Structure 1
Amino acid sequence: MKKPNILLITSDQQHWNTLGAFNGEIHTPHLDRLVRSGTTFTRAYCPNPTCTPSRASIITGQYPSQHGAWTLGTKLLENRHCVGEDFSAAGYQTALVGKAHFQPLCSTELYPSLEAYPVLQDLEKWKHFDSPFYGFDHVELARNHTNEAHVGQHYALWMEEKGCVNWRDYFLAPTGTMDPAITYKWSIPEEYHYNTWIAERTNALMEKYIDAEQPFFLWSSFFDPHPEYLAPEPWDTMYDPDALTIPSIVPGEHDNNPPHFGKTQEDHPDYSAWKETGQGIHGYRSHLYYEYGERKKLTEYDKKKLVAIYYGMISLMDKYIGRILDKLDELGIAENTIVVFTTDHGHFFGQHGLQAKGGFHYEDLIRLPFIVRYPGHVPAGATSDAIQSLVDLAPTFLSLCGIPVPHAMTGVNQSQVWRGIDSSVRDHAICEFRHEPTTIHQKTYVDHRYKITVYYNQTYGEVFDLHEDPNELNNLWDDPGHAALKSELLLKYIWAELGKEPMPMPRISGA
């Protein structure tokens, strides 16, 4: 039997309800193609709502508390076992194109980083880089979201090869010369946008592998719609801000929440009690202000326009995902390729008065868009509420390809659920957020109806009934009428923690 290919397509920081097939306010015709030809899982979750921990979980099949890349600014240690190694051993070509973010922007002697300054902008190094990288035999990398100064690596090389000699004009100082006051419209021509690069290089690699008659495990990793909110013409004006539903806070909704929620609605909140390492902490700030670039209070226009740009960024990305899907058809391999589309974590664009991300485990942030297509194996045009987690991707991919799953992987094998044979293999998901060693350390247990979040060394927390309160406005943690429910959920959470401990090998002897 011919080995199936694996094509993993991810966005970055995409809200679960931003697929045109389910949200009439956004246009995603190519992702809708996947919806029609595959199964959409409506209850998929990230293991951590930040980039490095969640992305490391995808390739290790372990939770951040297990693989060790526990927050932004850490790295996935090179001695961790990654799923690409299993695919390589089984005769697969393995590659990643786009965003990795397995390592930090800073490098030290003890913890060197290939994604750090100044090496990420040493273009001569990247021109000849051919070393394995976390189980991928081939990588083509970039590190910048939109116009960030972190631009470099293979993306910068590609722009130069395409004749874009003035590419620095489209990026911020100190790398580039773009005016930081410019918002929403990005002057970069679409032909030099990183979406174009990712699709072009993904397609070239697939063509190369098929010509050589080699199966592949390929991760096509897009950067959008991660802020800053910038899109080139005409995508910056594709959506009328006044025609969109703009989420907003409900007065009093944070009254019963832990203190860091309500502080987000203050002009100058004091989060000093949570600061431990001296590094920045995502989300612990005033959400009345724009997070990127200059500190600027969000006007009503801004609140609408940023949603319009966010949607435009998704629609632009969708166009290039379509080019990748077209290439599968052109190569004649669509029937033998398992395609998964998802994201690393969600996003706030006004829900609960919040912007971007942080230590707020609402569904908006930890729930994901998640589509699986495998013609003849995964039901087409179906939806499922079977709980999924990104930590399940590695063991499930291996199982579908007939490759043994390492015992140390703690994600569950979803292959029978994807095939429509079993209704579910999970009764819960766990999401972690540890952004400081002790002061910002929380975990969430979510099942088909309830959700509980606990905080290290704190007596506050959250309990939500997702059936009766789908918008998560009524925290039941301190409600006397739900004390028994809280106790039951705490016990289930402890069981879940015990259940996800790794067992690197089976027991083979009595002693």
Structure 2
Amino acid sequence: MRPNIVIINPDQMRWDYASCYGHPFIETKNIDRLAAIGTRFERAFSASPMCGPSRTSFLTGKYPLEHGIRQYGGTYDPALPNALSILGNAGYVRGLWGKDHCFKGDVIGRLYDEGEDICLGIMSKHPLYINAWDSASLDPASEWNITKRLTDAGINFIKKHANSDRPFFVTFNYQDPHPFFTCPEPYSSIFNPDQFELSENFRRGPAVGEIRRLTHWRIHSNEINMPIDSLKRAMAIYCGQIRYVDDQVGRIIDILRDLNVLDNTIILFWSDHGEFMGDFGVTHKIPAFFECLIRVPLVLWDPTGRVPRGVHQEMTELMDGMATVLDLCGLPQPAGSHARSAAAGGAPRTEVYADAGMLVRQPADPIPGLRIKGAMAPTPFGPGSMLRTREWKICLYAEDRGELYDLQADPFETTNRFDDPELVKLKLELMQRLAKRMMCFGRMPEDLPVGDLK
């Protein structure tokens, strides 16, 4: 029988907010535990810094440029090729607990056999959520406290199917640590705001060369006036939310072990995109390609051992994670997928691509009087694309200034060198390469099939 599959997907978790990725005090012992026995992908990147586009890419192997999902929520046609259909056709019983955020219509009963598809958005009706940066402790009895409840239900699904004659697939798609930044005790008081320092790229206003969409979000969210103590409180709660998720990771690993199925179950931990959390003086996310938004945690437990264990240092795209899972199960990729399996032993990626933003014009100037606490219109407006190598990142936008960052000398992306006359040749080379990727719907030109001349 094929191996079982467990996917764990916290929403909006930064790559650097886990101990195994270098966070100094968060103590994510269960994510670390998974990394210790499996494979931690050091350089993993999302196809988009927005929820629906990223998740759709994960399940289709296509970039937003091709699959067409560019807003936060997903509206992908479930009849089109996707990993869930492949799993169902292979005999997997499929469960979802949490937000689907990918497909149009009701997914339970169509792409999942059991589960609960629930999305809380930004909890905009919570009485303590007034400003974009707000955070609070959550009443354990609150309707918004769903992380443990979803885990309970998913664990019951695992117990039900662990010894059946069909393999199971279950995905835990958590709300945490997405804003509104809130979690119940004891998680909301684990961390003291005084433990946190501002990032090196924190700023109250625009720097030379700043993209317009970031300037607009800082003003529209009123985070130009965000109190520093409130930001540090949000950081503390955000870490608490991650610890809440981390405890669920431990519960899932433990039940798989106790049922004696851990050695026949693939586990993939990933997040769809990151979070500003104070970088550049803001919170939340926008359609831009800063490291805090586009770089993500990705950890795999492969019981077959085909994927080398330890730290995978090569560049990886999130869609490669699902491609690897399918490969380990002996299953094909969705038709048209551009993802690469880490178990296939092919040449490593030397660059990653991403794109984002609705095909709507970003305003030329901030909208007077507009105050929004979530990254709603016009925040997601304006398409853009990114090409990132180990050393450089270039970003082009339809109606915004370009960006070019020296990631070795400037890892916090404080200086946009797009207009640096000393880098004209390099910029042209990177722009040409990015244009070629866009012509190929994001895929590498070298991966295009050879035409049949007969």
Fold equivalence (TM over 0.5) = yes
Q: Which residue pairs with 2:387 in the alignment?
A: 445
Deviates more, 1:140-149 or 1:224-233: 140-149
Q: Check 1:63–1:455 CA distance in 2 against 1; reply closer, same or farther (3 A cut).
A: same
Paired with 1:130 and 1:73, the residues of 2 have a C-alpha distance of 17
Q: How does 1:81-480 map to 2 (within 5 A)?
A: 81-102=81-102, 113-114=105-106, 131-132=109-110, 135-145=111-121, 147=123, 172=126, 183-189=135-141, 193-247=145-199, 249-250=202-203, 254-265=207-218, 269=219, 285-286=220-221, 288=223, 297-377=225-305, 382-416=310-344, 424-439=347-362, 440-457=382-399, 460-480=401-421
Shift of 1:79: 2.9
Instruction: Judge conservation of contact 1:58–1:394 (CA < 8 Å) in 2.
Output: yes
Shift of 1:438: 4.6
Deviations 1:137-166 (A, max 9, x none): 3332211157555xxxxxxxxxxxxxxxxx
Structure 2 residue runs of 5 or longer lacking an equivalent are 363-381
Deviations 1:245-288 (A, max 9, x none): 232525887212233334455xxx4xxxxxxxxxxxxxxx2452
Equivalenced residues, count = 427
TM-score, with structure 1 as normaliser: 0.77
Paired with 1:256 and 1:97, the residues of 2 have a C-alpha distance of 42
Shift of 1:190: 8.8
Q: Which residue pairs with 1:155 in the alignment?
A: none
Structure 1 residue runs of 5 or longer lacking an equivalent are 104-111, 115-128, 150-171, 173-177, 270-284, 290-296
Shift of 1:241: 0.6
Instruction: Judge conservation of contact 2:187–2:244 (CA < 8 Å) in 1.
Output: yes
Paired with 2:53 and 2:183, the residues of 1 have a C-alpha distance of 27
Instruction: Judge conservation of contact 2:307–2:343 (CA < 8 Å) in 1.
Output: no
Instruction: Judge conservation of contact 2:48–2:355 (CA < 8 Å) in 1.
Output: yes
Q: Check 1:413–1:376 CA distance in 2 against 1; reply closer, same or farther (3 A cut).
A: closer
Q: Check 1:492–1:226 CA distance in 2 against 1; reply closer, same or farther (3 A cut).
A: same
Q: Percent identity?
A: 27
Instruction: Judge conservation of contact 1:236–1:309 (CA < 8 Å) in 2.
Output: yes
Paired with 1:235 and 1:73, the residues of 2 have a C-alpha distance of 28
Q: How does 1:485-496 map to 2 (within 5 A)?
A: 485-496=426-437
Q: Which residue pairs with 1:37 in the alignment?
A: 37
Return the index of the structure with the highest Cα Rg: 1
Shift of 1:479: 0.1
Paired with 2:203 and 2:356, the residues of 1 have a C-alpha distance of 25
Instruction: Judge conservation of contact 1:99–1:141 (CA < 8 Å) in 2.
Output: yes
Q: Check 1:498–1:211 CA distance in 2 against 1; reply closer, same or farther (3 A cut).
A: same
Cα RMSD after superposing both structures: 2.8
Instruction: Judge conservation of contact 2:2–2:167 (CA < 8 Å) in 1.
Output: yes
Paired with 1:240 and 1:378, the residues of 2 have a C-alpha distance of 42
Which one-letter code corresponds to 2:180 in the other structure?
E
TM-score, with structure 2 as normaliser: 0.86
Q: Check 1:508–1:430 CA distance in 2 against 1; reply closer, same or farther (3 A cut).
A: closer
Q: How does 1:20-99 map to 2 (within 5 A)?
A: 20-21=19-20, 22-72=22-72, 75-99=75-99
Instruction: Judge conservation of contact 1:373–1:380 (CA < 8 Å) in 2.
Output: no
Paired with 2:49 and 2:260, the residues of 1 have a C-alpha distance of 36
2:162 counterpart SS class: helix
Q: Check 1:38–1:303 CA distance in 2 against 1; reply closer, same or farther (3 A cut).
A: same
Instruction: Judge conservation of contact 1:257–1:461 (CA < 8 Å) in 2.
Output: no
Paired with 2:123 and 2:143, the residues of 1 have a C-alpha distance of 15
Paired with 2:405 and 2:433, the residues of 1 have a C-alpha distance of 15
Deviations 1:368-393 (A, max 9, x none): 01111113515676212211112223
Deviates more, 1:91-100 or 1:340-349: 91-100
